[in-house]
A and B are shown apart, each in its own frame.
Chain A
Amino acid sequence: MRSEQVVLAICISAMVCLLVTGTYATAADPTNPSQGRGQTVEGAPTPSLTTPVPDPVENLETRLGTIEEWKAKIERLPSLSNKFNIGLNALQFLYTHQDAHVAEGKSQDNLSIRRSEFLMYGKINEYVPRGHALMEFQSNGLTANTPGCNPGTDCTNRTQNAAGTPTTANYFRETYIDFRPIPGIAPNLNVIRMGVFRMPWGIFTETTGGLRDIVSTPFLNTVGSGGGSKNSTAGQIDFLQERDLFADVRGTVANRLEYVGGIMNNNNVFSQNVGSNGPKVGYGRVRFLATDISFISFTTLQGESNNEGTQNNGRGKGVFDRYGVDFRYTSRYLPGFMMQGEYWQGHDGQNQTTVGLPAQGACENQVQCGGNGAPGVMRRTWYAYAKYYISSGPLEKWEPVVMYEQFDPNTKVTNDLYTRTILGLNYYFENLPPKIQTKLSIDYEFRHHSGSGPGTSVPNTDPFAQNIFLVQLQVRYQ
């Protein structure tokens, strides 16, 4: 006990000594101007007051260059760009006002979270150059299954054949592995990609929501609402699903020709839970790069689809194909100007159905087979848009966008067109290192829907026939 007291006393003494010495050392700080003339310091002479001070404007370019260089270095830090990355792919808050009539007590104004996507990705080594997982955390609902019909019953009778029940929700929007079998021949054979991801069909389908220039989803991905009709013109149609479970091979030849060839379930992301829709569907795309920022590409999908168990609206039983051409022109002569377009057409098999409604087989007798009872149908769609980013002047960082698109659900039927003209304005907030992009998008859409065939018209509740105003604020980190 006594020895502990001695140790304690020694410790206290030592601390007091350190305190006094430290105080003295501080007091003897030669850089302190209040210490008088007794403390002289040797070293470099104090700069004369007459020495010219560099003009900060004069070397502005050099200083900006240094900052750019620093920013580039920060972005290349391994923790930010290589092994493991984590962040928001897109967080989008959306306001919409639509003229479509709604039931009493409901509003035409809507506030929502459009996307809340959490992304992780990274490079493991040369053989696995990318692993990628994206989860969506908006208020996900359950998607119904699409049942078949009980034998010998009326497929349209909901007592005998109930509509699909809520089945599955997908938080895992995307997850894939890139495997590079022979690094020595990359990028000619670059990677084998396996998983669920945005499909390489055209431009829009492959572009993440955080990088799109308009708020709405294009018609080529999804159009229409409600159930189908006997001539395949009505109801929701998912002409090209955005995501699917697939395996494909990707590469680049001579730095100017990119190719993709693969096979997929053709049942959207939900086939993880509900199974493949039918026989597999193959797809391929070649993209010719006219420059490093402008290209034209050709895509095809070939196979067979099914109506029972489908998670894609408007799919029937039978031959399934798609043919597409797309292009993008990015100008260096007029920096900030870009335009792109896509043209698609394709065949959906007999007796298409809407997800959740029972359908089974290719017959056109709805009592027997459900669905819309229509024969196979050819659909066609195209769009074109242009935008210009203003990089100087009072409108700096604003970007006007103009888009026109059209969807023909049945090329053999008249008075069934969906058309839309979009006038948009984007504003890019200051970009921050490492990779944060905040963007405000304001769009007004002039929508028109002719009808569901000759002599028909659409109700004033049809959202594809009524104009809409959208405002969206987005934060994106990647």
Chain B
Amino acid sequence: MLVILSFTLASCVSSAQIVSETPTGGTVLYSYFEEQDVLTSPERKDALRLLVAKCPSGYSISREGQLAQIDKAVDRAWMGQVSRDGQPNREKRWAIQFACK
């Protein structure tokens, strides 16, 4: 029962989300694990789908890049402390800042 509940909850979590939004743009965020997945992962496709939904007549990306896990200073101090499975967390976050046309 517990496992089923956990699976259900896990499947409800979206991999990409708009974290800040204005009438003409915003920032969308998605997670990835390997460097080579930044541009090809399904999560990025989800993020781009969100952009299309937000901007039906098109959009332009003004800036994108990797985000700190928590905060640059905190990440540096806690190196490896924010861990899972006894290993440092491998999950990273990528943000896309966009503007609608």
Binding site for B on A (CB under 8 A): 68, 197-198, 200, 206-208, 211, 213, 250, 253-258, 260, 286-289, 292-293, 295, 298, 330-332, 335-336, 338, 389, 391-392, 397, 399, 428, 431, 435, 437, 478
Chain A hits for B91, CB < 8 A? 255, 292
Chain B hits for A391, CB < 8 A? 71, 73-74, 77
Chain B hits for A392, CB < 8 A? 73
Chain A hits for B76, CB < 8 A? 431
Task: State the CA gap A161–B36 with chains docked (Å).
Answer: 65
Chain B hits for A298, CB < 8 A? 2
Indicate with 1 or 0, residue by residue over B72-95, a CB within 8 angstroms of chain A CB atoms.
Answer: 111011111111111001010100
User: Do B82 and A257 have beta carbons less than 8 Å apart?
Assistant: no
> Can you give 28 contacting A-B residue pairs, CB < 8 Å?
A206-B85, A211-B80, A211-B81, A211-B83, A253-B7, A253-B10, A254-B11, A255-B15, A256-B10, A256-B13, A257-B10, A286-B2, A286-B3, A287-B84, A288-B6, A292-B31, A292-B91, A293-B89, A331-B70, A335-B74, A389-B73, A389-B78, A391-B77, A392-B73, A431-B79, A435-B80, A437-B79, A478-B80
User: Do B2 and A293 have beta carbons less than 8 Å apart?
Assistant: no
User: Do B79 and A435 have beta carbons less than 8 Å apart?
Assistant: yes
Chain B hits for A336, CB < 8 A? 70-71, 73-74
User: Do B6 and A293 have beta carbons less than 8 Å apart?
Assistant: no
User: Do B83 and A207 have beta carbons less than 8 Å apart?
Assistant: yes
Q: Which of A208, A289, A431 contacts B84 (CB 8 A)?
A: A289
- Report A235 CB to chain B, min CB distance, Å: 30
- Report B47 CB to chain A, min CB distance, Å: 14
With an 8 Å Cβ cutoff, the count of chain B residues facing the other chain is 31
Q: Which of B69, B77, B93 contacts A431 (CB 8 A)?
A: B77
Q: Which of B10, B78, B89 contacts A292 (CB 8 A)?
A: B89
User: Do A257 and B77 have beta carbons less than 8 Å apart?
Assistant: no
Chain A hits for B83, CB < 8 A? 207, 211
Check if B9 is an interface residue, CB within 8 A of chain A.
Answer: yes
Chain A hits for B6, CB < 8 A? 257, 286, 288
User: Do B31 and A197 have beta carbons less than 8 Å apart?
Assistant: no
Task: State the CA gap A253–B9 with chains docked (Å).
Answer: 11
User: Do B84 and A258 have beta carbons less than 8 Å apart?
Assistant: yes
User: Do A206 and B77 have beta carbons less than 8 Å apart?
Assistant: no
With A255-B31, A389-B77 known to touch, is A335 a contact of B71 (CB < 8 Å)?
A: yes
Task: State the CA gap A255–B93 with chains docked (Å).
Answer: 13
Within 8 A of A (CB), among B1-37: 2-3, 6-7, 9-11, 13, 15, 31, 33
